[in-house]
Structure formats: C-alpha cells, structure tokens
Structure 1
C-alpha cells in the first residue's frame, strides 16, 4: 500500500520480496511490525503502509551489504532523516533506518535496531524488560523469522493507533497463557496498570 510522508512516498516491499532479499543475511533478523502479528495469527487481515525488519544493534553493518546500491537513511530523533554512510556505527539513540533503491524511488523497507545485554534482548523503552534472545522470535513452517506476537504488541501498546488496535484484537485468540502473562506484566511495567490492553488481558 503506497503512502506519502514528508520525506517521500512509501511503497513497501511485499513480505515475500523482503524475505527473498534478506535470505543472504547471515546475522539474525526478524520480520516485525504488523506483518509479525499476521505471521503469528496465520492469515492476512489488513493493508500495510510499510514493512519492518528487526536487527540486533551489534549486527547493523552486515545488512548494508545485502542491498548493494540502495540508499540507507538513519532516522535521527526527533524526526530527521540523514544518510547512513557505509561502515558507520549508528549511535545508541538511532533505532530506525529507511531504505530505498535510489533517490527518485519510494522507500521500500525499514530496519529497526534493538539492543542486547549479554544474551538478552533489552526493550528500548524500559531496560527492566528483557528476554533471552532465543525467546524473541520464531519462524513459520517455511522458515520466515518473525518476532513473537507478545513482543511486537508490547511495542505497539504505547501508540495504540487503529492498526495497532486491529493487531491486538487479531492476536488475542492466538496468545497462550504464558504469552498473555508476559504481555500483561510488561505493559503494566512500561505503561501502567490502567492500560486498556493490560485490562483486556487480565480479563481473559
């Protein structure tokens, strides 16, 4: 689904295109965003204005080799895009990278960087929230790596845009007891006990 932004249009890669282009990447990566929830649910249920891929911050440089000739732009808070130079290590406050085939082309894929402490993934908004790396994601039967739905929903819990609410509703039936418990606990810790999603999760 093509969308407009102040920095030019988005015309995201399809899920299949993104998986094909990233097949050569030898460091861990996971489909994130709404597509991660759809992969967990097992069906498509909405349009997507972008496609997100999660990388570990210490693995950021290898991804530059995956799409040779493409433009890489770092989202430098608060709301600035700037070129990401080959070989540059992005600072800790930069979490998002936009990528497109050329200057006259639409943006096609967004990479997100998350931090690791030892063998644990660290939630960027609250470092008290952690997971062993082997519990961060899973893969579909045909091998597509993606974030587990409770992790993606934790990220979505702050903004609660219409698409985030749609993802939450779609994911609820597929969350098992452990996933519900973890998501309830982490939303409560990061966003407060009165968060509507935490209340829905506690209600069963």
Structure 2
C-alpha cells in the first residue's frame, strides 16, 4: 500500500487530452485546472490534475489505462491497488506509471442517473449530462465552472485555494451560473453558506 500522497508530478492538460481523447468515454478536466481552462489562463500553481469519468464507463477507462498505468483506489484515507473490479462507491482513483513513480493524475468517478449528473453530497442537485461539460477552443472538455465551484464550496472543509478560486472566478460567472450555484448551495446548506452573500 502506498502512503506517498504528496509525491505528485502531474501531467499537463495537453498530455491528459492525448490520453483520454482516444478512450471511448465521456470525460473532462476538473478541479482548479477546469477553472483556469474556462478563464483561458493559468491563475495559480496546481499540485495535481483531476479527470472526471462516469461510474458506468469506469471499466472502459480501466481497460485502456491499465496498459500503461497503475491505478489505486483512494478511499477512507488509504490507497489500495485497483485490479479491475467494479467500483460501486469509490469516488477517487490515483494513477502513476509504476508503484514508485510520482502520481500523474487523479480520476474522479461521477454518478449519473437517467442521463443526468447527480451531486454526490446531495442527490437532488443534478444537471443533464449534455450540460455539464464545456470545451476549450482546442476541444478539450472541462467541468462547468459553477459545478466545479459547488464541489469546492460543498466540501466539509473549504480550503484557502478553493476560496481564492471562487474569488478569481466570480467576475466572469454569468448571471445564470451564479444563480444555479447560489440555489445549489442554499439547498445543500439551508442554514446558509459563506459564499452565498457574494452571489
């Protein structure tokens, strides 16, 4: 079992696109990189890179990736080898070239229902699958900013970099994006959330 959780040498967005563009699944860049792709510029350093795939297509992704990579389930603070079994509840998979090389990218497994994305922290929050991805001019798919910001805001502990990302994105969010993020936060946090006042 690996414990070197800080041993990262993330791939570039272009390298990720080269890997995933030939795999017949729905996927997109997530995390801080998704926000930077939306802004068309890098706003801060990124210690890792996240790729979203759907739960129902996870084994297709596994069969392609296992040819060149080693995949580890990340669950309950521990990393264990993913050997191709269907992951019913695991949401994160860490990927490296071998069992000693730095982590290259992270897979985030997304749940869907009736062709809609469902938010893992509140299943009543959802969007049609064809609405959740945007693309760069080069055709690289990334997660919509308001959905990415919901993931950041909805965590049990909002990190400083998440708040910085929110403040960076705020001026460029469209009114409908702000409205969706606000209503989603109010649904998850009926007692209010610190970001709502800015929306």
Using the size of structure 2 for normalisation, the TM-score is: 0.93
Q: Which residue, 88, 94, 97 being the options, matches 1:98?
A: 94
User: Does the 8 Å contact 1:53/1:111 carry over to 2?
Assistant: yes
1:173: which partner in 2?
171
* Other structure's SS at 1:90 match: coil
Q: Partners in 2 of 1:8 and 1:164 — Cα distance?
A: 18
Q: Partners in 2 of 1:7 and 1:40 — Cα distance?
A: 28
Q: Does the C-alpha gap of structure 1 residues 115 and 140 become closer, same or farther in structure 2, counting only changes over 3 Å?
A: same
Q: Which residue, 115, 125, 139 being the options, matches 1:119?
A: 115
Alignment of 1:71 with 2:80, yes or no, is no
Q: Partners in 1 of 2:49 and 2:189 — Cα distance?
A: 25
Q: Partners in 2 of 1:194 and 1:62 — Cα distance?
A: 40
User: Does the 8 Å contact 1:98/1:110 carry over to 2?
Assistant: yes
> What is the RMSD computed on CA atoms of the aligned residues?
1.3
* Other structure's SS at 2:38 match: helix
How far residue 170 of structure 1 moved from its aligned partner, in angstroms, is 1.4
2:54: which partner in 1?
56
Q: Partners in 2 of 1:174 and 1:124 — Cα distance?
A: 26
How far residue 6 of structure 1 moved from its aligned partner, in angstroms, is 4.0
1:190: which partner in 2?
188
Residues paired across the two proteins, number:
194
Q: Does the C-alpha gap of structure 1 residues 11 and 192 become closer, same or farther in structure 2, counting only changes over 3 Å?
A: farther
2:17: which partner in 1?
19
Q: Partners in 1 of 2:29 and 2:91 — Cα distance?
A: 15
Unaligned runs of 5+ in 1: none
User: Does the 8 Å contact 1:37/1:149 carry over to 2?
Assistant: yes
Give 4+ residue runs of structure 1 displaced > 2 Å after superposition: 5-8, 191-194
2:86: which partner in 1?
89
Q: Partners in 1 of 2:37 and 2:5 — Cα distance?
A: 29
Q: Partners in 2 of 1:125 and 1:172 — Cα distance?
A: 23
How far residue 193 of structure 1 moved from its aligned partner, in angstroms, is 4.6
Deviation sequence 1:92-112 (CA, Å, 0-9, x none):
2x1000000001200100001
User: Does the 8 Å contact 1:52/1:111 carry over to 2?
Assistant: yes
Q: Partners in 2 of 1:119 and 1:27 — Cα distance?
A: 14
